[in-house]
Chains A and B, each alone.
Chain A
Amino acid sequence: MQVPGPFEYDRATSVDQAIGLLERRGETARLIAGGHSLLPMMKLRLADVEYLIDINDLHDELGYVLVESDRVRLGALTRHRELLESDELAAVLPIFRDAERVIADPVVRNRGTIGGSLCQADPSEDLSAVCSCLDAECVIRGSTGQRVVPMAEFHRGPYETAVGDGEMLVEVRVPRHPDSSSAFEKVERRAGDWAVVSAAAVVTMAGGVIADARVGFAAVGPHTVVIPAVSELLRGEAPGEQLYERAGAAAAEHCDPTTDMRGTAAYKRHLVQELTRRTLRRAVQRISDGGS
């Protein structure tokens, strides 16, 4: 039986109060949201926490999906299941439903949050790949105010983020573009498992050609990555199978997978190539189907 090491526990009653508690205890304090990454780590003694601040009571304040004309705002405590079930979100950013269907299992999705997923900064985290690909922004709040950090700067390395001591992630903002759509695909060894490789694609069309496109991956490097070479290759081109093929080859060339228990580096490169093709194809199809 594995149990976490001893710690003190408090419950936050508001975001400001949580930040006050975090500030007072500095680096010995940790927030707990869904707990589905942190508690297993504490049980395995991979995380050593002296002071745990439970933010689940802030769900009213931080659990929301707000679709605005030019962006979508997601509260940090929005649970996987809420993202999965939001029809409004699926209508404008179908990539979230694609991804949430294959993240963990329904019982884990009842608890895990988007904030916890991004702050965990696990290189295999599917939502991190999604948010990187969408060029999302993270709103980080501290006692002196809030700052907005783009996803590209949010992850500093595995399990390391831009959130400082005395700060918390409160919101994720995703820009919306007209004539744009997105898709997500994942290969896993069994239902509810972490990705062998997962891929996210976002495409914007203009006048029959690709105006902008990004593909991002989880589990192929030290953090979730967007591959700029693929965006360059796609920009200005008319979509089609041959283009997706070339994009897949470029993605496979520029990613950095390692051989581990989930598969060899060569197999993961093969998956990167194939999943790039599938996600691009689906995102473009969704634009021509008239969805956003």
Chain B
Amino acid sequence: MQVTMTVNGTEVTREVEPRLLLVHFLRDHLGLTGTHWGCDTSNCGTCVVWMDGEPVKSCTVLAAMASGHEVRTVEGLAHEDGTLDPIQQGFMRCHGLQCGFCTPGMMMTTRALLDRDPHPSESDIREAISGQICRCTGYATIVRSVRWAAEHPDGAVPAAEEEPAAAEPATEPAATEAAQPVPTGSAS
């Protein structure tokens, strides 16, 4: 059967079997391998992409079911000019990833969380990622990364304007944070 959907802003049409899962459509047919696939039981959440703006587990959606819908993957998270989304910057700065396997799904879920609630509490963040498994970081740094993104809705200031001390932001996130104006009304 023929499926047509918009993936990261571009319309794509392919001939597929009805039984093809969306995760395999993205990876194998479109070469978008940022979306990972880690279980067969809808438990690990590493395959999370957006369908019509909402996170879904793409291993539990048929490509056929996504036809006619708008899909966004981690490849479509950065801004058009190449600037990383604040969530991506947060994961870089606050050690939100180690092996990176769970990271695309985590970023898609937490970006959607911030879109709905720009000032989530720590428990809101933990609740949002509760359907996702990370075998490396232990979640504390993931939560910290999301908080960083919430506190920096426009991302980091361009590198040229940053203090030299912030040139190695991953090792000194506190110094970087201190250099940033904290938006009023941020999560306490």
Is A bound to B? Answer: yes
| A residues in contact (CB < 8 Å) with B | 1-9, 32, 35-36, 39-40, 42-44, 52, 54, 56, 104-108, 110-111, 191-192
A110 surroundings in chain B (CB, below 8 A): 54-56
Q: Is the CB of A106 within 8 A of B42?
A: no
Q: Is the CB of B131 within 8 A of A106?
A: yes
Residues facing A in B153-186 (CB within 8 A) are none
28 contacts between A and B (CB under 8 A): A1-B24, A1-B37, A3-B19, A3-B20, A5-B19, A9-B1, A32-B62, A32-B65, A35-B62, A35-B65, A36-B42, A36-B57, A36-B60, A39-B42, A39-B62, A40-B42, A42-B19, A44-B40, A54-B65, A104-B131, A106-B128, A107-B55, A107-B57, A107-B132, A108-B42, A108-B60, A108-B131, A111-B56
Known: A43-B40, A44-B40. A191 touches B130 (CB 8 A): yes
Q: Is the CB of B131 within 8 A of A35?
A: no
B42 surroundings in chain A (CB, below 8 A): 36, 39-40, 108
B21: Cβ under 8 A from any A Cβ: yes
> A9-B18, A35-B62, A107-B109 are known contacts; what are 16 more A-B pairs with Cβ within 8 Å?
A3-B19, A3-B24, A5-B19, A7-B19, A35-B61, A36-B42, A36-B57, A39-B60, A44-B40, A54-B64, A104-B131, A105-B131, A107-B132, A108-B131, A110-B54, A111-B56
| Bound complex: CA A267 to CA B64 (Å) | 44
Q: Is the CB of A105 within 8 A of B130?
A: yes
Question: Of A6, A32, A42, A107, which one neighbours B56 at CB under 8 angstroms?
Answer: A107
| Bound complex: CA A119 to CA B19 (Å) | 22
Q: Is the CB of A2 within 8 A of B19?
A: no
B75: Cβ under 8 A from any A Cβ: no
B115 surroundings in chain A (CB, below 8 A): none
| Bound complex: CA A40 to CA B24 (Å) | 15
B130 surroundings in chain A (CB, below 8 A): 105-106, 191-192
| Bound complex: CA A144 to CA B65 (Å) | 29
B41: Cβ under 8 A from any A Cβ: yes
Question: Of A1, A9, A105, A108, which one neighbours B64 at CB under 8 angstroms?
Answer: A9
Q: Is the CB of B21 within 8 A of A3?
A: yes
| Bound complex: CA A9 to CA B65 (Å) | 9
B104: Cβ under 8 A from any A Cβ: no
Residues facing A in B123-152 (CB within 8 A) are 127-128, 130-132
B94: Cβ under 8 A from any A Cβ: no
Q: Which 9 A-B pairs have the closest CB atoms?
A: A105-B131, A9-B18, A191-B130, A2-B40, A4-B19, A107-B131, A105-B130, A9-B64, A107-B55
B48: Cβ under 8 A from any A Cβ: yes
A32 surroundings in chain B (CB, below 8 A): 62, 65
Q: Which residue of B lies closest to A105 (CB)?
A: B131
Residues facing A in B1-52 (CB within 8 A) are 1, 17-21, 24, 37, 40-43, 45, 48
Q: Which residue of B lies closest to A4 (CB)?
A: B19
A56 surroundings in chain B (CB, below 8 A): 65
Say how far B93's CB is from chain A's closest CB, in angstroms: 25
B109 surroundings in chain A (CB, below 8 A): 106-107
Q: Is the CB of B55 within 8 A of A40?
A: no
Q: Which residue of B lies closest to A104 (CB)?
A: B131
Which of B21, B42, B48, B128 has the largest number of chain A CB atoms within 10 A? B42
Q: Is the CB of B62 within 8 A of A192?
A: no
| Bound complex: CA A1 to CA B23 (Å) | 11
Q: Which residue of A lies closest to B108 (CB)?
A: A107
Say how far A7's CB is from chain B's closest CB, in angstroms: 6
B41 surroundings in chain A (CB, below 8 A): 40
B43 surroundings in chain A (CB, below 8 A): 192
Say how far B33's CB is from chain A's closest CB, in angstroms: 14
Q: Which residue of B lies closest to A36 (CB)?
A: B60
Q: Which residue of A lies closest to B60 (CB)?
A: A39
Q: Which residue of B lies closest to A191 (CB)?
A: B130
Question: Of A8, A39, A192, which one neighbours B18 at CB under 8 angstroms?
Answer: A8
Q: Is the CB of B45 within 8 A of A7?
A: no
| Bound complex: CA A6 to CA B40 (Å) | 17
| Bound complex: CA A56 to CA B54 (Å) | 15
Q: Is the CB of A40 within 8 A of B60?
A: yes
